[in-house]
């Protein structure tokens, strides 16, 4: 009986941990509002929400990128990237990539979103959508 209780406790703990990571890993719409990171989180808060990064890379004079492989991700791809400004220790941006692709239109209402295309030789190479968060941040 004690083994069964210990196993059940471990199973419940794992379920809570996985559900917390899942909700933290994906942006959500709650009552029409985007609910995810606010770009005010500390490195410790990001680690608690997403776990330790798979890779860390500094770039430029003042930036640090944390890259994650959450879920079923090719070993050379990343599901998430969080960029910090080292001088202020603030999050600059967080990116979520889906594989397979997922329709995220609901997260980017047209009136709150701008689209940016990066071209090479006149042809679009990739595009991104930017939605400003309440208070001036962007998602």
SS3 percent helix, strand, coil of the chain, rounded to 5, is 25, 35, 35
- State yes or no: pLDDT of 7 exceeds 50: no
Task: Write down the pLDDT at residue 11.
Answer: 36
Q: Which segments within 1-138 are labelled E, that is strand?
A: 28-30, 33-35, 55-59, 63-68, 80-85, 90-96, 113-120, 123-131
Task: Write down the pLDDT at residue 68.
Answer: 95
Q: Express each pLDDT in 51-103 by its tens digit.
A: 999 999 999 999 999 999 998 888 889 999 999 999 988 899 899 988 888 88
Task: Write down the pLDDT at residue 137.
Answer: 52
* CA dist 46 → 1, 29, 81, 118, 131 (Å): 38, 20, 11, 29, 20
Mean pLDDT computed over 33-46: 88
Task: Write down the pLDDT at residue 49.
Answer: 93
Q: Express each pLDDT in 12-29 by its tens digit.
A: 333 333 334 456 889 988
pLDDT tier for residue 138 given thresholds of 50, 70 and 90: low
Phi and psi angles of residue 92, each rounded to the nearest 5 degrees, phi first: -90, -45
């Amino acid at each position: 009986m004690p083994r069964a209780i210990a196993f059940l406790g471990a199973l419940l703990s794992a379920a809570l941990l996985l559900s917390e990571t899942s909700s933290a890993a994906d942006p959500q719409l709650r009552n029409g509002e985007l609910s995810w990171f606010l770009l005010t989180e500390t490195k410790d808060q990001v680690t608690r929400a997403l776990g330790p990064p798979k890779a860390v890379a500094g770039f430029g004079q003042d930036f640090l990128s944390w890259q994650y492989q959450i879920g079923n991700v090719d070993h050379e791809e990343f599901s998430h990237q969080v960029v910090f400004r080292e001088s202020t220790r603030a999050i600059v941006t967080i990116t979520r990539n889906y594989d397979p692709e997922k329709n995220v239109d609901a997260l980017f209402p047209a009136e709150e979103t701008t689209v940016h295309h990066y071209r090479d030789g006149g042809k679009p190479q990739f595009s991104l959508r930017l939605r400003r968060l309440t208070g001036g941040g962007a998602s």
